[in-house]
Amino acid sequence: MKKLLVDIGLDYNFLLLGIVSQEKPHRLVWLINRQLGSSFKHDDELQLYNNETPTASFLKYQFADEMNHLDLTLIENKDQINYLIPELRAVDYFLMIKGALNFLDVPYFINSLKPTESVQLITEIDHQKLKSKQNLIF
């Protein structure tokens, strides 16, 4: 019998920024909204499963920048005991940006977030090198 392998091409076409901040998620979102003039809103939580049983739940906030054709999602990296991306435990939040990335001035965008109160560090992350990058597909 012949076996067929199906390659499900997961979409990793996004920019990933790591944010270090000790703020609670709702406060950080409020500060970012104030800094960027955006309107991130709480979205459903990101759930991780093991054999159809939820094992972790991470808060998620989304903003659709229709003028620049970008979708931005802020996700916390840690719930009570688990990490979304365990190999980056020092990162508190991830900012995932999808859409018209060719037109996004990444250094300018990062520099516009740096003055945000309580943001200690923001940096671009090469998500292709992450072991648990599949956790970022939702």
pLDDT at 67 over 70: yes
pLDDT at 3 over 90: no
**Residue 2 belongs to some domain of the structure:** no
Quote the pLDDT of residue 52. 76
Domain interval for residue 85: 15-136
**Residue 7 belongs to some domain of the structure:** no
**Residue 6 belongs to some domain of the structure:** no
pLDDT over 70 for what percent of the chain? 91
Per-residue pLDDT reduced to its tens digit, 14-49: 999 999 999 999 999 999 999 999 999 998 898 888
Quote the pLDDT of residue 48. 84
**Residue 8 belongs to some domain of the structure:** no
For the entire predicted model, the pTM comes to: 0.87
**Residue 4 belongs to some domain of the structure:** no
Adjacent-strand bridge partners of 15: 97
**Residue 9 belongs to some domain of the structure:** no
**Residue 57 belongs to some domain of the structure:** yes
- Band of pLDDT at residue 53, cut at 50, 70 and 90: confident
**Residue 50 belongs to some domain of the structure:** yes
Please name the residues in contact with 58: beta carbons below 8 A apart, sequence gap of 6 or more.
45, 46, 48, 75, 76, 77, 78, 79, 84
Q: What is the 3-state secondary structure (H, E, C) of the chain?
A: CCCCCCCCCCCCCCEEEEEECCCCHHHHHHHHHHHHCCCCEEEEEEEEEECCEEEEEEEEEEEEECCCCEEEEEEECECCCCECCHHHCCCCEEEEEEECHHHCCHHHHHHHHCCCCCCCEEEEECHHHCCCHHHHCC
- Band of pLDDT at residue 6, cut at 50, 70 and 90: very low
Count of structural domains within the chain: 1
Average pLDDT, the chain: 89
- Band of pLDDT at residue 12, cut at 50, 70 and 90: low
Per-residue pLDDT reduced to its tens digit, 78-94: 998 999 999 999 999 99
